[in-house]
């Protein structure tokens, strides 16, 4: 199956989400492509507040993740990271609209956006750590809360980063 979504083909962190931006060609796109400069702002401007929250939460998470890993070429803030790097072809992450594909020999971290979406997917056996997070270590898989401020709060972002570190 071909990857479908936004981001890098050499991603080390894949996020899987059940929905797509309801504008332009996103509802029917069938390839993986990096966001172009200004494309994220276009999506946010022409869709609901939902997509602004999704992009903000993932930018904050990834900014903190890369900072913790010692990446020294990060922009100064997560907002700058969002605007300059998030889900672009040169980044090391992807937001995918297709079901996950697993390879035991690959170290890519797979993060499913929400329990509801995870329940609809054919996933390997999961170990639920609490009501919000589940893992499968063999496939570097994490089920996490949906990326909005209430569900994936700052505290839960920190917990997700701990789980991601355990997968590296």
Find the DSSP H helices in 69-107.
78-84
Helices (H) and strands (E) in the chain, counts: 5, 8
User: Residue 76 corresponds to which tokens in the numbers above?
Assistant: 């100064």
pTM here? 0.96
pLDDT in tens, 82-94: 999 999 999 999 9
**Residue 26 scores a pLDDT above 70:** yes
| Domain count for the chain | 1
Dihedral of the alpha carbons of 45, 87, 16, 31, in degrees to the nearest 10 = 90
Give residue 16's domain range.
Answer: 5-166
Find the DSSP H helices in the chain.
39-46, 49-68, 78-84, 115-119, 154-166
The pLDDT value given to residue 167: 85
Q: Angle between the 154-166 and 49-68 helix axes, to the nearest 10 degrees?
A: 50
**Residue 168 scores a pLDDT above 80:** no
């Amino acid at each position: 199956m071909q990857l479908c979504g936004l981001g890098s083909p050499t991603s080390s962190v894949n996020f899987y989400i059940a929905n797509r931006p309801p504008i332009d060609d996103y509802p029917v796109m069938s390839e993986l492509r990096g966001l172009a400069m200004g494309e994220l702002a276009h999506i946010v401007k022409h869709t609901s507040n939902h997509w602004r929250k999704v992009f903000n939460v993932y930018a904050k998470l990834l900014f903190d993740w890369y900072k913790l890993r010692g990446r020294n070429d990060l922009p100064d803030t997560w907002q700058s990271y969002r605007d300059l790097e998030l889900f672009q072809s040169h980044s090391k992450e992807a937001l995918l609209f297709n079901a996950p594909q697993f390879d035991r020999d690959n170290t890519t971290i797979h993060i499913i956006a929400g329990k509801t979406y995870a329940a609809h997917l054919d996933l390997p056996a999961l170990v639920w750590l609490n009501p919000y997070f589940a893992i499968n270590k063999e496939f570097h898989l994490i089920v996490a809360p949906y990326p909005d401020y209430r569900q994936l709060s700052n505290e839960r972002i920190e917990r997700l980063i701990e789980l991601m570190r355990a997968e590296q």
